[in-house]
Structure formats: structure tokens, C-alpha cells
Amino acid sequence: MVRLVVASRLKPLLHAPARSSAAAISCGNLSRGLCSFRGGSRIVIQTIPNAGLVLGSSRRRIRAMAYNGKQFPTQTQTSQPGKEHEMDPAPRLRPYQGANKLKGKVALITGGDSGIGRAVAYLFSIEGATVAFTYVPGDEEKDAEDTVDIIKKNKCSDAKDPLKIAMDLGFDDNCKKVVDQVVKTYGKIDILVNNCAEQHMCENFEDIDPSQVERTFRTNIFSYMFMARHALKHMSEGCNIINTTSINAYKGNSTLIDYTTTKGAIVAFTRALALHLAPRKIRVNGVAPGPIWTPLIPASFDETSVELFGEKTPMGRAGQPDEVATSYVFLASEDGSYFSGQVLHPNGGTPVNA
């Protein structure tokens, strides 16, 4: 199979059926997604708008790469949680039509500079929410600036300009500082999205580094509890919290044991906090994505794992952040008004049990 990826202003996905003998492909009117081909290999044509196009670039950018049957090109990154601007291809953000579902709301998103967090911030802002987001100090500065630009160029006119906050959320005092800064800037918090995460592969559990375990727990579950604890002091009836867990909490992962454990804890935390806050009419829900193309992937896995990432799902591919972010819009808006203590599963068709 040959996969041809075209990054442009085109529609998202076109699959061409297999033909016989030697592969040959010629692309005609790409703006209409038309293609003629003959011969051999299975041809998959996939169009992905890159961040520059979402930013409103006046130039049309077209980039084509043959992956030779792999899901993604060979790549790795050396720091957690990874850099979106170094990914190839860049995660997708499709054009989105808002309906004022979050008009007048203030949303605080942790890990909002890239991946799922960026996609959630993007959709929330189009739906009318004013967005504040956190990111890891240092390496994530460019991604954070890119996210600010994306929001400014696409947000609903009623939404205020976004606020980016560099902070290590593994410590309670830092989480309080973030909440205080958001409230000082916007006066309130209506929606808290706990989304920051890190993960580290470990082939042999006996070799796991205790400092890594502590770091993973501080980022993935301690921060969720600390952020909720402080944000709730400013939340009232009708507000809601959304926690990002993972398919790994339900299916397990033999090489991400500490990460998987934190994601299971997030599910339990979501259910318990939902019961605790039900009398206050504050909803708490979760989203458990499957394999999604985010910076965590090249920052966590070896080259072979990256190349084949997502191919074992029933849909045969990894998901894109914008395919997950709509779950957060649903849960944050009145569309999800009867949902609390629940977890949504955008995972490419993998059945999971509660």
C-alpha cells in the first residue's frame, strides 16, 4: 500500500480502491479531490490542513509524501510531552462551524498548547468560549504561541483573547497560581478541562525509574485533583469539569504501566467527583481517546512504533485531535446536560467495558 498525504485546504479523506499491476498515479483537480490512477498498489489519498492553513495563511501549501504503507514517517522526539511544530505530518485541525454552544463561558484547559488540548481550545473558541490554557515552561513556548494565533484568528467575535500560562502543574501551589490568574483576568471559570499528560515506555517493569513514576503521577493525576480543588472555589451551578483519561485505562498497556495506572485513577476520580458535586449541579465527565496523533507519540515511542501507530484499531488508522475535541464540546455544552460521571470513547471502534 502507498499512502499519499496532501496538506492543503482540501476535504479530509478519500480512499481509492486497489487495482492491478504496477502502481501509477496522476492527480488531477486536487481542489475537488479528483484523482486518476492505474495499476498495482493500494492508493490512499489523505488531505490534512496544517496549522499554517488554520492560521489563515494566504498561500496554498501542498505537500505530498509516500509512506510506503506506514501510518506515519519515521520520527522521534526527545522531550515530553513533545512539540507539535516538529511533527510530520502536523496534527489536523479541520474547518469548524460553531453554533454559540459555549457563548459567554470561560474555559481553562491544561496542556492546551498542542495535540488534543489545542484542538479543544480551537473548537471551544469557535463556539464562543474565552480560553485560557497551560503548557510546560521552556520547550513548549512555540506551540503555545501557535495556539494563541490559531485561537485569535478563528474565535467567535464574542470571545476574549486567549491567555497562555507556563506552569508545572505537578504541585498544588502552582495549580492555585493558574486558577488565580485566570480568575483575575476573566473573573470566573465555567469549564475546567484537565488534559495535561506525559508517558514513558518501559519494556521491563522491574527497571522503571521511581522518579519517572512520581513525575507521571504528578502530571497525570495529581494535577487533575489540584486544579479541580482550586477551580471549584470559583465554579457554581451549570459549570463542569472534563478529565482526559485513555483507552489504556480499560484495555491496559504492558509498556506504559505507570501511565495506564494514572489513567485508571482519572476514571475513578471522575466518577467519585461527579457524585460529590451532583448536589451542587456541577457536572464531571471524562474522555478516553484511543490512539491519537499528538506530540506525545513521537516523544514516547521508538521509530517503528510511530510508523505503525494506530494501524491495529478497527478503523485501521490513528485518530486526529479534532476527531476527539468534539466530545469535549458536547460534554461542556448544554447538549451534555444529562451527562455526569460518564466517559466518552473516541477510539477508532475498539469496544471497551466500563
DSSP secondary structure, 216-252, as one string = HHIIIIIHHHHHHHHHGGG--TT-EEEEE--THHHH-
How far are the Cα atoms of 23, 223, 224, 268 from residue 274, in angstroms, in the given order?
55, 17, 14, 10
Strand partners, 182: none
pTM: 0.80
What is the number of helices (H) and of strands (E) in the chain? 11, 13
- Distance between CA atoms of 130 and 224, rounded to whole angstroms? 21
Catalytic residue positions, numbered: 259
Cell 470566573, residue located:
188
In this predicted model, what pLDDT tens digit does every residue of 61-70 receive, in sequence order?
333 333 455 7
User: Which amino acid belongs to residue 334?
Assistant: E
Amino acid at 232: L
Q: Report residue 140's pLDDT band, with 50, 70 and 90 as the boundaries.
A: confident
Distance separating alpha carbons of residues 293 and 288, to the nearest angstrom: 14
Rounded average pLDDT over 276-280: 99
Task: Look at 42 and 193; give whichever has higher pLDDT.
Answer: 193
Over 90: is that where the pLDDT of 39 sits? no
What is the reported pLDDT for 56?
A: 40
- pLDDT at residue number 310: 73
Q: Is the pLDDT of residue 77 over 50?
A: yes
Least confident segment among 5-19, 75-89, 111-125: 5-19
Beta pairing class for 43-47 and 64-66: unpaired
Report all structural domains of the chain as residue ranges with CATH numbers, in order of start: 2-66 (no CATH), 84-344 (3.40.50.720)
Distance CA 286, CA 342 (A): 6
